[in-house]
């Protein structure tokens, strides 16, 4: 991985990107633009990640045969909704055309010592995410903070049926960090299961992306990070990817997610 050129790294990051708009003022025009941006002269992103209310629109725009998957969020961002409400939200999103569900665990309950609340939530949502729908479980690691708690949350999510574990909502003060990524990637390795990893929030440049990909390669091997095992959740990363692929060099982004 160390010998990978910036352009190669950018192309890889593009193929792993969940291009995201979870802004509070997102509207139909923004979703139309996002779907357009997901297809670039250099290839397409892995997915778009949007609010549930826009899934039906995105499915109509992308069509049924698009290689770009539609991810949406449930129990988001607070992690505090009742299980039945989250299950209903998930069912509706899938009916509207979602391919992937990004579920926030009840992390505040976990901080208070309630592991059962996490198990119950993930198992219940898993039950309505029939393959090929993917379940990506958001731990909100910046709020969990403690290494042991992040590791425990990772194992709880994996044991309860997560296809991916994801760092963050992008809606709190601390989002993806390399420290949290290291804990989560090692938890995946310890589990012995085929579970993916998604850092989200704060990954804004190809250089940022490279740090996470190099970490994943160290723990899981150089060929592990593919769209079925690794995603980036970001809104601003695409601009930097395209700058590198266009030969304009790596810039910076002011994106909040």
**pLDDT tens digits, residue range 80-118?**
999 999 999 999 999 999 999 999 999 999 999 999 999
pLDDT at 2 over 70: no
Looking at residue 1, what is its pLDDT? 42
Looking up residue 142, the CATH number of its domain turns out to be: 3.20.20.70
List pLDDT tens digits, range 186-233: 999 999 999 999 999 999 999 999 999 999 999 999 999 999 999 999
Q: Let me know if 198 is exposed, middle or buried by CB neighbors in 10 A (0-12, 13-18, 19+).
A: buried
Question: How many structural domains comprise the chain?
Answer: 1
Whether 235 is covered by a domain: the verdict is yes
The four Cα atoms 91, 95, 97, 102 give a dihedral, to 10 degrees, of: 0
Beta strand 164-166 pairing with 134-138 = parallel
Whether 44 is covered by a domain: the verdict is yes
Whether 251 is covered by a domain: the verdict is no
In this prediction, residue 253 has a pLDDT band, given cuts at 50, 70 and 90, of: very low
Count CB-CB contacts under 10 A for residue 49: 30
In this prediction, residue 251 has a pLDDT band, given cuts at 50, 70 and 90, of: low
pTM comes to 0.96
Whether 171 is covered by a domain: the verdict is yes
**Residues facing 69 on adjacent strands:** 47
Give the containing element (helix H, strand E) for 33. helix 28-37
What average pLDDT does the structure give for the chain? 96
Active-site annotation holder among 102, 163, 208, 240:
102
Active-site annotation holder among 12, 136, 171, 198:
198
Per the structure, the complete domain to which residue 121 belongs is given by 6-245
Whether 133 is covered by a domain: the verdict is yes
Whether 52 is covered by a domain: the verdict is yes
Whether 255 is covered by a domain: the verdict is no
Specify whether 145 is catalytic.
Answer: no
List pLDDT tens digits, range 5-36: 999 999 999 999 999 999 999 999 999 999 99
In this prediction, residue 169 has a pLDDT band, given cuts at 50, 70 and 90, of: very high
Whether 236 is covered by a domain: the verdict is yes
Looking at residue 254, what is its pLDDT? 45
Active-site annotation holder among 136, 166, 208, 240:
166
pLDDT at 250 over 90: no
In this prediction, residue 4 has a pLDDT band, given cuts at 50, 70 and 90, of: confident
Specify whether 102 is catalytic.
Answer: yes
Looking at residue 249, what is its pLDDT? 84
Looking at residue 24, what is its pLDDT? 97
């Amino acid at each position: 991985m160390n010998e990978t050129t910036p352009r190669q790294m950018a192309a890889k990051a593009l193929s792993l990107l969940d291009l995201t708009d979870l802004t509070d003022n997102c509207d139909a025009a923004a979703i139309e633009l996002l779907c357009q941006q997901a297809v670039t002269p250099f290839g397409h992103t892995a997915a778009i990640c949007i609010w549930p209310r826009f899934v039906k629109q995105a499915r109509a725009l992308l069509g049924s045969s698009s290689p770009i998957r539609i991810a949406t969020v449930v129990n988001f961002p607070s992690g505090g909704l009742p299980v039945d409400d989250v299950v209903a939200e998930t069912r509706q999103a899938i009916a509207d055309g979602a391919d992937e569900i990004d579920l926030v665990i009840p992390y505040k309950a976990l901080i208070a010592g309630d592991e059962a609340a996490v198990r119950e939530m993930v198992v219940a949502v898993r039950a309505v995410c029939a393959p090929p729908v993917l379940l990506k479980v958001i731990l909100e690691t910046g709020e969990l903070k403690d290494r042991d708690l992040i590791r425990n949350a990772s194992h709880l999510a994996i044991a309860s049926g997560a296809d991916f574990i994801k760092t963050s909502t992008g809606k709190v003060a601390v989002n993806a960090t390399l420290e949290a990524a290291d804990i989560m990637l090692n938890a995946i390795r310890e589990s012995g299961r085929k579970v993916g990893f998604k850092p989200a929030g704060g990954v804004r440049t190809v250089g940022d992306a490279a740090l996470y990909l190099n970490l994943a390669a160290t723990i899981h091997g150089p060929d592990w990070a593919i769209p079925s095992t690794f995603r980036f959740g970001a809104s601003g990363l695409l601009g930097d990817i395209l700058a590198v692929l266009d030969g304009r060099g790596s810039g910076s982004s002011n994106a909040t997610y």
